[in-house]
């Protein structure tokens, strides 16, 4: 995963839907025909997976993680992030 490989998705106010797989064997962000898939090795306890997903997504989008806000799906595999 290269930094900024998904920068074409970032613009002010954009909402990005992702499907998360926690406890995966690797950390990765993939763009599929169904949308973005994020794989993280973190466990979904105490917000650890959400933090890891935010960090991975920010790296892939080429933006600071402070510009990403989790809008929907804090306890779901399907999440929506907003770019500030």
Question: The domain spanning residue 47 has which CATH number?
Answer: 3.30.1200.10
What residues pair up with 15 in beta bridges, in sequence order? 82
From residue 20, how far is each of 4, 31, 83 by CA, in Å?
Answer: 19, 12, 18
Q: Could you give the angle at the alpha carbon of 69 between the alpha carbons of 68 and 73, nearest 5°?
A: 125
Q: State which residues form the domain around 26.
A: 7-83
Distance CA 22, CA 40 (A): 5
Mean predicted lDDT score pLDDT of the chain: 93
What is the average per-residue pLDDT within 50-72? 95
From residue 72, how far is each of 4, 16, 69 by CA, in Å?
Answer: 23, 10, 9
**What are 1-35's pLDDT values in tens digits?**
678 788 888 888 999 999 999 999 999 999 999 88
Domain count for the chain: 1
Q: Is residue 1 part of a domain?
A: no
Name the pTM for this structure. Answer: 0.91
pLDDT for res 10: 87
What is the average per-residue pLDDT within 53-74? 95
pLDDT for res 71: 97
């Amino acid at each position: 995963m290269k930094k900024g490989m998904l920068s074409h998705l970032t613009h002010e106010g954009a909402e990005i839907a992702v499907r998360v797989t926690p406890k995966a064997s690797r950390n990765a962000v993939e763009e599929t025909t169904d949308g973005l898939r994020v794989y993280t090795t973190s466990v979904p306890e105490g917000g650890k997976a959400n933090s890891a997903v935010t960090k991975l997504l920010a790296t892939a989008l080429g933006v600071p993680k402070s510009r990403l806000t989790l809008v929907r799906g804090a306890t779901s595999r399907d999440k929506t992030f907003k770019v500030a």
